């Protein structure tokens, strides 16, 4: 196998090893995928100022996110069905993150349950919450997260309704996969994935099956999830959840200054500028383009994080330069997981940190916490940067 030198190498290998429906689930957006593409493309418009003859000894990428020490200001984003990219995927990703020293965020729609992660790691992890109509289930989920030592709750607000993801519809995406002729033919080309999946009992949504009322198998799960995302979600619900949780609260899915101000008013500890990886509202702006005005409006009162389109350590530097205090990676670590399991997630993190460190050095800095807009070249920056500067 050729050396893995960048995130694209991991993506290519993951595409070869992961069944089509699950690879497409991770590597796709909604509708025309214009926002999905913009998330990546807009990063490339941001150019760096290169500095020379600066003492670059003793560089550090260490920082904090919501008061937690991190090896670099990067967290693994909550991603649904991670355990379908590789058997026991959430456990493997959480272990890799713990060893590396960055936060791992478990999705409500994970394959491995909250308790599985707690049993296989020793460091606290973060839990991402979707708000369902069944408030009793949500209360129990929050209590389970507390019992599992979760140190932050990431409340996602941009999934009141599900975006139309054409590839998932075409593929008939489900967990576990339905044994149709098409799926079976594809699975026959993925022997490594099939063998690993046969070794684990974790093939359904572990946080839901056996915990939500009347959900005990795949058919009842499908009926439950189709009607449970709550379109009536409001800021009153955010207040209710904050009181139930009582710990660090991060609000995800913010793209407008007005909503960012509501996050501040809610007492949240951080917000995540995010368009759900281009998987919800197609035609929305990229996350990186929405970041500067939000930082300018509320960055002095709340910790601003971002996700969406990050494919390198250079992208992390760009986001930090525009004011983010933390950056989340989703697809990059999923590529690593699908390609090489836990080792692939570790390799992803190594690549990101190395690129972050080198880019910081070329810009004349030794400490990741010193990154700011001064390292960006304004004349070549896009219009949305100039407006936010």
**331 labelled ligand-binding:** yes
- Which residues fall within 8 angstroms of residue 387, CB to CB, at 6 or more apart? 292, 293
Q: How far apart are CA 183 and CA 171, in angstroms?
A: 8
**128 in a labelled binding site:** yes
**Annotated binding-site residue? 78:** yes
Cα–Cα nearest to 291, from 262, 326, 264, 338: 326
**CA 2 to mean position of chain CA atoms:** 27
Instruction: Please state, in angstroms and as integers, the Cα–Cα distance from residue 292 to each residue in 225, 310, 356, 359, 383, following that order.
Output: 35, 16, 20, 20, 11
Rg, C-alpha atoms of the chain: 20
Per the residue annotation, which of 86, 166, 276, 305 is the catalytic one?
276
- Determine whether the annotation assigns residue 79 to a binding site: yes
Helices 34-41 and 287-298 meet at what angle, rounded to 10?
70
Is 274 annotated for ligand binding?
yes
308 annotated to bind ligand: yes
Whether 276 sits among the annotated catalytic residues: the reply is yes
Residue written as tokens 């009322």?
213
The reply to whether 279 sits in an annotated binding site is yes
**Is 200 part of any known ligand binding site?**
no
3-state DSSP call for residue 88? coil
- Cβ atoms of 132 and 230 closer than 8 Å: yes
Was 380 annotated as part of a binding site? no
- The answer to whether the annotation marks 80 as part of a ligand binding site is yes
- Binding residue per annotation — 158? no
Residue list, annotated binding site for FMN? 78-80, 107, 128, 130, 156, 252, 274, 307-311, 330-331
What residues act catalytically?
276
Residue list, annotated binding site for glyoxylate? 25, 165, 276, 279
Residue list, annotated binding site? 25, 78-80, 107, 128, 130, 156, 165, 252, 274, 276, 279, 307-311, 330-331
């Amino acid at each position: 196998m050729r050396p893995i030198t960048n995130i694209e190498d991991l993506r290519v290998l993951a595409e070869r090893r992961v069944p089509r429906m699950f690879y497409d689930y991770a590597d796709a957006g909604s509708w025309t995928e214009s926002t999905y593409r913009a998330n990546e493309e807009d990063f490339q418009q941001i150019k760096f100022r290169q500095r020379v003859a600066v003492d670059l000894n003793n560089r550090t990428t260490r920082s904090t996110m919501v008061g937690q020490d991190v090896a670099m200001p990067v967290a693994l984003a909550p991603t649904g069905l991670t355990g379908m990219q590789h058997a026991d995927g959430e456990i493997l990703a959480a272990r890799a993150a713990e060893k590396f020293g960055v936060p791992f965020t478990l999705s409500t729609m994970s394959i491995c349950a909250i308790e599985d992660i707690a049993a296989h790691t020793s460091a606290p992890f973060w839990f991402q919450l979707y708000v369902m109509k069944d408030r009793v289930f949500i209360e129990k989920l929050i209590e389970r997260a507390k019992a599992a030592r979760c140190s932050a709750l990431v409340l996602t607000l941009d999934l009141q309704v599900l975006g139309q993801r054409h590839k998932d519809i075409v593929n008939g995406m489900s967990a576990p996969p339905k044994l149709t002729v098409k799926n079976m033919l594809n699975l026959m080309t993925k022997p490594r994935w099939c063998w690993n999946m046969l070794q684990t009992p974790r093939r359904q949504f572990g946080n839901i099956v056996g915990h939500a009322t009347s959900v005990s198998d795949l058919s009842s799960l499908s009926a439950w999830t189709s009607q449970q995302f709550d379109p009536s979600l409001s800021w009153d619900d955010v207040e209710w959840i904050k009181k139930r949780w009582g710990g660090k609260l991060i609000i995800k899915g913010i793209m407008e200054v007005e909503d960012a101000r509501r996050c501040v008013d809610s007492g949240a500890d951080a917000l995540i500028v995010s368009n759900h990886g281009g998987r919800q509202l197609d035609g929305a702006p990229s996350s990186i383009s929405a970041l500067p005005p939000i930082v300018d409006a509320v960055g002095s009162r709340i910790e601003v994080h971002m996700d969406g389109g990050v494919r390198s350590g250079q992208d992390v530097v760009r986001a930090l330069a525009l004011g983010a205090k933390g950056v989340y990676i989703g697809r990059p670590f999923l590529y690593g997981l699908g390609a090489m399991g836990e080792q692939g997630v570790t390799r992803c993190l190594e690549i990101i940190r190395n690129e972050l460190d080198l880019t910081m050095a070329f810009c004349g800095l030794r400490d990741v916490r010193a990154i700011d807009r001064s390292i960006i070249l304004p004349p070549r920056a896009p219009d949305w940067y100039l407006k936010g500067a």
